[in-house]
A and B are shown apart, each in its own frame.
Chain A
Amino acid sequence: MSDKKNWPLWEIFVRSKNGLEHRHCGSLHATDAEMALENARDVYTRRNEGVSIWVVESKNITASNPEHNGELFEPAQDKVYRHPTFYDLPDEVKHM
């Protein structure tokens, strides 16, 4: 194995059609963003799966730590008043 520089890893996001969001679909290695786009076309959209591709070098993504999921997400769990079903309305009100 050579100790020369390896191609960096890129995360690939594909919009399947206009109106829908880009979704993460996997990753690949490429020398730069342009090559990452071209390779993503061949690896992830061989059957018309996309109309738009985003590539982000993996090292630029900051991810939350699942071990901190408690502190991060639990505060939302006891806030039932953020949901419409928390509020009592008379039956006569049909649409609200």
Chain B
Amino acid sequence: MSEEHIKNLEEQFEARIARDEKIEPKDWMPEKYRKTHIRQMSQHAHSEIVGMLPEGNWITRAPSLRRKVALLAKVQDEAGHGLYLYSATETLGISRDEMYEQLHTGKAKYSSIFNYPTITWADMGAIGWLVDGAAIINQVPLCNTSYGPYARAMIRVCKEESFHQRQGYEIMIKLANGTPEQKEMAQDALNRWWWPSLMMLGPTDDVSVHTEQSMKWKLKRKSNDDLRQQFIDQTVPQADLIGLTIPDPDLKWNEERGSYDFGEIDWDEFWQVVKGHGPMNKERMKARVGAWERGEWVRDAAMAYAEKNKNRKDKQAV
């Protein structure tokens, strides 16, 4: 293909997206579009998979059967979301094994939030309320993204996600209305998860490298700062309602803007965790790689069993 021909195709491609047309797997697409989508979608899938670990930690210790079935269902949904996203990413020509390899070798990232520890039951509340809350704000605009398989996967994910946030907030309500110790536990979880949740919405607009191109391809509809403001404005009243305090002394309603002003985010901490120096980075990868390696004989045995069955059937047919 000549350079001019490619340029022509690229222009037509951008025009299709601008007209709100969807791009499907077999359509021609610029290499950069393919690569950017593989990167973002696989990281999204990895986040769902690694995201099971901090919560899986509490399934056997949930305080009641009601809480246990809910948490189990939530973690199972996250496995499902990871699978929707992996299979959507495979339509771009990368194999499942390559993606796992990238995760396990640290080449691919996953959401930094999962590198924090879950040390009390209240963390299950804070994760559902704040982490899933921030994830929903990130994900809802993606239901309209330009790549068809990604958009369809996100519609399913978003439909299922709202129970996650509600179950988390319900845990917080219960603890906040419980004994002084329980309320303190809820406040402590909020204190630890608040800032990492704000960081989840990404670096500030002035340093975010992908924003402009991502806006064009509808991988992003709003800037990181706008999403963060939306998250803060919607979450602060929810904390007020249950008598918990957002751990930010600079948080203040700004009448003029109709939004909350908030304090400085510690971006050094964010970059430290991204670079692998968070409290749980090593532990998460160890758990993930360990599960993959310990499961290898099961995967191989299942494949061998299927082949044996097939051979047997083929023989009978002769």
From known contacts A5-B303, A26-B153, A63-B26, infer whether A32 and B83 are also in contact, taking CB-CB under 8 Å: no
The stretch among B131-139, B189-197, B204-212, B294-302 that forms the contact with chain A is B294-302
- Please give, as numbers and ranges, the residues of chain B lying within 8 Å of A26 by CB-CB distance: 84, 87-88, 152-153
Contact A27 B303 (CB under 8 A): no
Counting CB contacts under 8 A, is B203 at the interface? Answer: no
Chain B nearest CB from A16 CB (Å) reads 13
When chains A and B are docked, how far (Å) is the Cα of A2 from the Cα of B80? 25
Contact B26 A66 (CB under 8 A): yes
Q: Closest B residue to A9 by CB, please name it.
A: B90
- Please give, as numbers and ranges, the residues of chain A lying within 8 Å of B73 by CB-CB distance: 46
- Please give, as numbers and ranges, the residues of chain A lying within 8 Å of B84 by CB-CB distance: 26, 43
Contact B83 A7 (CB under 8 A): no
- Secondary structure class of chain A's binding surface, majority of residues: loop
- Please give, as numbers and ranges, the residues of chain B lying within 8 Å of A20 by CB-CB distance: none
When chains A and B are docked, how far (Å) is the Cα of A46 from the Cα of B157? 12
Counting CB contacts under 8 A, is B10 at the interface? Answer: no
Q: Closest B residue to A10 by CB, please name it.
A: B87
Counting CB contacts under 8 A, is B248 at the interface? Answer: no
Contact B80 A1 (CB under 8 A): no
Contact A32 B87 (CB under 8 A): no
Q: Quick one: which of B26, B97, B302 contacts A65, CB cutoff 8 A?
A: B26
Contact A31 B26 (CB under 8 A): no
- Secondary structure class of chain B's binding surface, majority of residues: helix
Counting CB contacts under 8 A, is B160 at the interface? Answer: yes
From known contacts A26-B88, A27-B90, A46-B76, infer whether A7 and B153 are also in contact, taking CB-CB under 8 Å: no
Counting CB contacts under 8 A, is A91 at the interface? Answer: no
When chains A and B are docked, how far (Å) is the Cα of A47 from the Cα of B153? 15
Report the contact-size class of chain A (Cβ under 8 Å from the partner).
20 to 34
From known contacts A31-B305, A32-B309, A46-B77, infer whether A4 and B28 are also in contact, taking CB-CB under 8 Å: no
Counting CB contacts under 8 A, is A71 at the interface? Answer: no
Counting CB contacts under 8 A, is B269 at the interface? Answer: no
- Please give, as numbers and ranges, the residues of chain B lying within 8 Å of A29 by CB-CB distance: 96
Q: Quick one: which of B80, B101, B160, B310 contacts A32, CB cutoff 8 A?
A: B310
- Please give, as numbers and ranges, the residues of chain B lying within 8 Å of A28 by CB-CB distance: 83, 87
When chains A and B are docked, how far (Å) is the Cα of A27 from the Cα of B307? 21
Chain A nearest CB from B249 CB (Å) reads 43
Q: Kindly list the 4 A-B residue pairs having the minimum CB-CB distance in the complex, ordered from nearest.
A: A31-B306, A32-B306, A27-B87, A31-B302
Binding site for B on A (CB under 8 A): 1-2, 4-7, 9, 26-29, 31-32, 35, 42-43, 46-47, 63, 65-67
Known: A7-B299, A7-B303, A43-B80. 17 other contacts (CB 8 A): A1-B97, A4-B300, A4-B303, A6-B95, A6-B97, A9-B90, A26-B87, A26-B152, A27-B87, A31-B306, A35-B306, A42-B76, A43-B83, A46-B80, A66-B24, A66-B26, A66-B28
